[in-house]
Chain A
Amino acid sequence: MMSPSSSFWNTASREAMKSGMFVAKVYCFLHVTTNYLGFMAYAYGPSMIPTLHPSGNMLLAERISKRYQKPSRGDIVVIRSPENPNKTPIKRVVGVEGDCISFVIDPVKSDESQTIVVPKGHVFVQGDYTHNSRDSRNFGPVPYGLIQGRVLWRVWPFQDFGPLGPTPT
Chain B
Amino acid sequence: MGIQNILWQVAKKAFTGSIIGLTISDRCCSVVPVRGDSMSPTFNPQRNSHLDDYVLVDKFCLKDYKFARGDVVVFSSPTNFGDRYIKRIVGMPGEWISSSRDVIRVPEGHCWVEGDNKTSSLDSRTFGPIPLGLIQGRVTRVLWPPQRISKIGR
Chain B residue at minimal CB-CB distance from A84: B109
* B binding-site residues for A, Cβ under 8 Å: 16, 19-20, 22-23, 26-27, 64-65, 75-81, 107-110, 130-135
Inter-subunit contact B19/A82 (CB<8 Å) = no
Chain-B contact segment, one of A109-117, A138-146, A155-163:
A138-146
A80 close to B (CB within 8 Å): yes
Q: Give the complex CA separation of A31 and B20 in angstroms.
A: 9
* A binding-site residues for B, Cβ under 8 Å: 24-25, 27-29, 31-32, 35, 80-86, 119-122, 142-146
Once A and B bind, how many residue pairs between them come within 8 Å at the CB atom?
67
Chain B residue at minimal CB-CB distance from A121: B79
Shortest distance from the beta carbon of B67 to any chain A beta carbon, whole Å: 10
Q: Give the complex CA separation of A126 and B71 in angstroms.
A: 33
Residues from chain A with a CB closer than 8 A to the CB of B79 are: 119-121, 143
Given contacts A85-B132, A121-B79, contact A32 B22 (CB under 8 A): yes
Q: Give the complex CA separation of A86 and B135 in angstroms.
A: 12
Inter-subunit contact B23/A146 (CB<8 Å) = no
Residues from chain B with a CB closer than 8 A to the CB of A121 are: 77-81
Inter-subunit contact A86/B134 (CB<8 Å) = no
Chain B residue at minimal CB-CB distance from A30: B23
Residues from chain A with a CB closer than 8 A to the CB of B130 are: 143
Inter-subunit contact A81/B26 (CB<8 Å) = no
Inter-subunit contact A31/B81 (CB<8 Å) = no
Instruction: For A144, give its contact among B19, B23, B81, B135 (CB under 8 Å).
Output: B81
Instruction: For A31, give its contact among B27, B131, B133, B134 (CB under 8 Å).
Output: B27
Instruction: For B19, give its contact among A29, A80, A120 (CB under 8 Å).
Output: A29
Chain A residue at minimal CB-CB distance from B84: A145
Most chain B C-beta atoms within 10 Å of own C-beta, residue among A24, A80, A85: A85
Inter-subunit contact B81/A84 (CB<8 Å) = no
Residues from chain A with a CB closer than 8 A to the CB of B107 are: 83
Given contacts A82-B131, A84-B109, A146-B131, contact A25 B81 (CB under 8 A): no
Chain B residue at minimal CB-CB distance from A143: B78
Inter-subunit contact A145/B77 (CB<8 Å) = yes
Q: Give the complex CA separation of A24 and B16 in angstroms.
A: 11
